[in-house]
Amino acid sequence: MKAAQVRSAFLDFFAERGHERVRSSALVPVNDKSLLFTNAGMVQFKDVFTGQESREIRRATSSQKCVRAGGKHNDLDEVGRTARHHTFFEMLGNFSFGDYFKQDAIEWAWDLLTNVYGLDKDRLVVTVFNGDDEMKVGGDDEAAKIWSDVSGLAPERIIGLGKKENFWMMGETGPMGPCSEIHYFQGDSPPPRLPTTQDPESAWDGWLEIWNLVFMQYVRHTKGGPLDPLPAPSIDTGAGLERVTAVLQGVQSNYDTDLFQPLLHQAADIAGKKYGDDEKDDVSMRVIADHARTTAFLIADGVMPEKTYREYTLRRIFRRAVRHGKLLGIDEPFMHIVCAKVVDEMKDVYPELAERATIITEAAREEEKQFRRTLDRGLGMLEEEFEALQKRNEKTVAGTKVFQLYDTYGFPKDLTEIIAGEHGFGIDNDGFDTAMAAAQALSQSNTGSTVDEAVFKNVASGLSATEFLGYDEVRASGKVVAIVVDGEKVDNTKGVAAGSTIAFVCERTPFYAESGGQMGDAGQASGDGVALRVDDVRKPAGDVFVHFGEVTSGQLNVGDTIDLQVDEARRDQIRANHSATHLMHLALKQVLGDHVAQKGSLVAPDRLRFDFTHFSPMSADEKRQVEDLVNAEIRANAASQTEQLALAEAKEKGAVAMFGEKYGETVRVVHIGRESLEFCGGTHVRRAGDIGLCKVVSEAGIAQGVRRIEAVTGIGALDYLRDLEDQLSGAATALKTRPAEVVARIGKLQDSHKTLEREVSSLKQKLASGGARDLMSEVQEIGGIKLLAVSTEVDDAKALRSTGDTLRDRIGSGIVLLAGVSGEKVSLLAMVTKDLTDRFHAGNLLKAVAQVVDGRGGGRPDMAQGGGKDATKVPDALAVAVQYVEGLV
């Protein structure tokens, strides 16, 4: 079976048994800061299992794209060296949310493996949980019996193992339960001996775990507390597509399956080598194939290689692949070609790859070009460090040096560690961490207050989704169903008095909650004897809208019905800015190319900010073109339209989705102007003309391959233009000219300034040379050596150096010491002609002289510079110069 058939057979099998076929979620987890990336099939259902989210479906099946790299999955060095280590993989799974349990899960797993996939029963064993005294949980005899009844496996093929192998926990608290793993023997013939409960891990050599069935039947409410039965036990299973495919294709390594072979051959072609000829080269090709998959999928989900958080993990992976390309002798950027191959191979299953194909290849190309510019310099620096360590008989690269390589040359720490290891050296991890922490402390800034998501998830777990009325209304009544004060849910029997800062939830509301870059609404609320100010609205937990503000008078109680009034003028400004971002997105694509995709936005009342993928600064002409296109749409004044469509239908219509965003099966599509069509849940103008005017105010890069454009619209644009007008008028007044002639006037002033600068420079040169005084007349001869040691009233180092050059040339053979005096400050210059540098050292002379004037300095044998703070000691300093020469003649 080809990998595509393995995947579809799994999904079809469970779909036929009442499971909803659920699309893979994005690799960036939604509303889950505890995870770096989506790393298992159950991640998108995590809140369903914990009871914090409810879904209509009771059964689901998916093929989930996953990335495990960084954090506890920090075994990058194993990728490419083993048969099954990957950073990107697919997890096949079937899930039950309080519906079926062990009997069906085990029965279906056995049916699929043996009847659909046709695996040899003699090559299969299963493991079950054999209990844990510390947790006070007995063995899973129920699962063992079901396995025996369903499969007919002999008792020795149903192996009991401990907590480490066969008990699954989401965390120290929450849902958990025993699991049952299915193992397949990959040897040439059925196993001569079955592993037992008492066997060490080595006894499992040749056995491959292909599927894990997790039986969530317990919940732990407190860390270290007892395990209580879950009221609705659930099922979570995971089977690695790569492993199952390897088994079904009869190969020992995942890399020998059709999932990897096209990528390996692509890498081999670029390198001019053949996969399978040399194991060292094969390792590099496997690294490139694996890392290209991770790169393509992460960029498709909106993660760009950069120096922060998830982005840095991608950069580490990507740059490791580039170095392996260098080991293969590839001297030109190549990863974009392998990433394009990933897109071609997997776009039918994951259409986001095709949608982002240009971005994937361009981002990969630019990242590799940037890294290659510094790679050789960084490697050279490391070679020098290795030589120095060998001379000192040391074996560890200093943490500060490792950090310098990271910060200056873009070398991820683990890449430096690998290169150092290849040369027999280690690295100082603690020193690197200290240097990194110090750098991060310098760059940290206050990001403002955060919402305690855990509190609101708890509140939301007992509430229905808020009914949002704000697309059509700015005023409506709603019943208060929850109140939170100081992070605590208020008892329904108690009220909240005036002066209290609160968060509250209503069954229905016209207030828009912050989402998709659009700020939440503000306004007022009032009821029977109570008034409130609403400052912000957010959705910290699912689709429950939380209003933040203050009780300004009276008392608010759970159960009160209040009148909710949005600040309509503020909402109108937000609408204008939000609609303008849609027009801006379209215009950027038209001017810069189809690779442009939204990476983020901020829609506020006073401005808009739009982040997009692009790889070079916009020219002034490009910014003007974008501005002209947006304003042309505004003047055309087409009516806006919104509609709810099935996801597939919306895509067929050409609606643009936000980069990396997760969407349901039904989406809201917004049509602004004549051509802009986007997925969007925000509020918008009724006609494009309501935006009024759009003025671009800035454009800059904010990350590798990501640019940011800022603009103002409507009243904000008028205020911006008036401010510019005021500044221009002020400049004209200061320059004593008309506003229209400011540029010409500044040009004349610049020309005049340059002329004056030249005159001043000439005067300083004359002053440094003694003015009317002939400095050459002050040359002394000491033991046959000419010495000119004089002071002059000038503090310009450039003029002093120029004068020194002139005097040295005129003296022919000798020593020059100049002391330029300006107030209390002294500038020093010492020069020795080339024929005398074997006897006299300008740097040593200057050091001796500088000490006298409370200063310091130094330099080469022929020229040295420095300075001092005590001009009164200049005569003494000149005398020291004489003594220096006298002492050496």
pLDDT digits (tens, 9 = 90+) for 860-885: 999 999 999 999 999 999 999 999 99
Give me the amino acid identity at 450.
T
Could you count the other beta carbons within 10 Å of the beta carbon of residue 644? 9
Task: With a cut of 70, say whether residue 834 has pLDDT above it.
Answer: yes
Q: Give the architecture (CATH level 2) of 777-886.
A: Roll (3.10)
pLDDT at residue 767 tops 80: no
pLDDT of residue 46: 85
Identify the residue whose tokens are 């989705």. Answer: 657
Q: How far apart are CA 147 and CA 215, in angstroms?
A: 14
In degrees, to the nearest 5, what angle opens at C-alpha 503 toward C-alphas 497 and 504?
85
Note the pLDDT of residue 651.
84
Average pLDDT over residues 166-179: 87
CB 547 within 8 A of CB 566: no
Statement: 572-721 belongs to CATH 3.30.980.10:
yes
Residue 695: strand pairing partners: 712
Q: Which of 224-233, 280-289, 341-350, 520-529 has the lowest mean pLDDT?
A: 224-233
Report pLDDT digits (tens) over 658-686: 765 667 778 999 999 999 999 999 999 99
**Domain 453-566 classified CATH 2.40.30.130?**
yes
Residue 175's pLDDT is what?
Answer: 86
> Residue 173 pLDDT > 90, yes or no?
no
Cβ neighbours around 57 below 10 Å, total: 14
Percent with pLDDT over 70 in the chain: 95
What integer pLDDT is reported at residue 762 of this predicted model? 60
Q: Which of 261-265, 776-780, 848-852 has the lowest mean pLDDT?
A: 776-780
140-144, 169-173, 669-673, 828-832: lowest mean pLDDT where? Answer: 169-173
The values of phi and psi at residue 181, to 5°, are -100, 145
Specify whether the CB–CB gap between 564 and 525 falls below 8 A.
yes
Which one, of 455, 457, 393, 389, lies nearest residue 420 by Cα? Answer: 389
Q: What is the pTM of this model?
A: 0.72
pLDDT digit string, tens, across residues 741-758: 988 989 888 888 888 777
Lowest mean per-residue pLDDT among 76-90, 461-475, 652-666, 778-792: 652-666
Give the pLDDT of residue 133: 86
**Closest alpha carbon to 667 in 677, 679, 651, 683:** 679
DSSP assignment of 401-434, as one string? Answer: HHHHHHHHH---HHHHHHHHHHTT-EE-HHHHHH
pLDDT surpassing 90 at residue 554: yes
CATH of 3-256, one of 3.40.50.300, 3.10.20.740, 3.40.50.720, 3.30.930.10: 3.30.930.10
Residue 136: its pLDDT value, please? 87
**Per mean pLDDT, which range of 28-37, 397-406, 556-565 is the poorest?**
28-37
Residue 457: pLDDT over 90: no
Asked if the model's pLDDT at residue 840 lies above 80, the reply is: yes
Residue 507 has pLDDT above 80, yes or no: yes
State yes or no: pLDDT of 450 exceeds 50: no
Helix (H) or strand (E) holding 89: strand 88-96
Checking if the pLDDT of 350 tops 70, the result is yes
pLDDT at 760: 61
| Residue-wise pLDDT tens digits, 558-602 | 999 999 999 999 999 999 999 999 999 999 999 999 889 898 899
The sign of the dihedral angle between the CA atoms of 225, 229, 232, 238 is positive
267-296 average pLDDT score: 96
Could you report the per-residue pLDDT of 56-95, keeping only the tens digit for each?
Answer: 889 999 999 999 986 555 678 889 999 999 999 999 999 9
Q: Which of 29-33, 381-385, 624-628 has the lowest mean pLDDT?
A: 29-33
Tokens of 245: 């495919």
Among 258-267, 374-383, 602-611, 727-736, which stretch is predicted with the lowest mean pLDDT? Answer: 374-383
Per-residue confidence (pLDDT) for residue 448, from 0 to 100: 36
Cα torsion through 265, 267, 268, 269, rounded to 10: 90
- Token look-up 């990998």 returns 3
Q: Which residue has the higher pLDDT, 418 or 538?
A: 538
Pairwise CA distance, residues 889 & 885, whole Å: 6
Distance CA 594, CA 585 (A): 10
Residue 215's pLDDT band (boundaries 50, 70, 90)? very high
228-240/396-397 β-pairing: unpaired
Across the chain, mean pLDDT equals 90
- Tell me the mean pLDDT in the region 195-221: 86
Using the predicted structure, report yes or no on whether residue 118 has a pLDDT greater than 50: yes
**pLDDT at site 647:** 85
- Residue 74: the pLDDT is 62
pLDDT confidence bin for 365, thresholds 50/70/90: very high
Share of the chain above pLDDT 90, in %: 66
> Tokens 């891990």 sit at which residue?
201
pLDDT of residue 795: 63
Residue 447 has pLDDT above 50, yes or no: no
Residue 761's pLDDT band (cuts 50, 70, 90): low
Assign 776 a pLDDT band (cuts: 50, 70, 90).
confident
Residue 766 pLDDT more than 60? Answer: no
pLDDT band of 764, cuts 50, 70, 90:
low
Residue pair 782/807 in contact (Cβ under 8 Å)? The answer is no
Reported confidence tier of residue 765, pLDDT bands at 50, 70, 90: low
122 has pLDDT over 50: yes
Kindly report the number of other CB atoms within 10 A of residue 494's CB atom.
Answer: 12
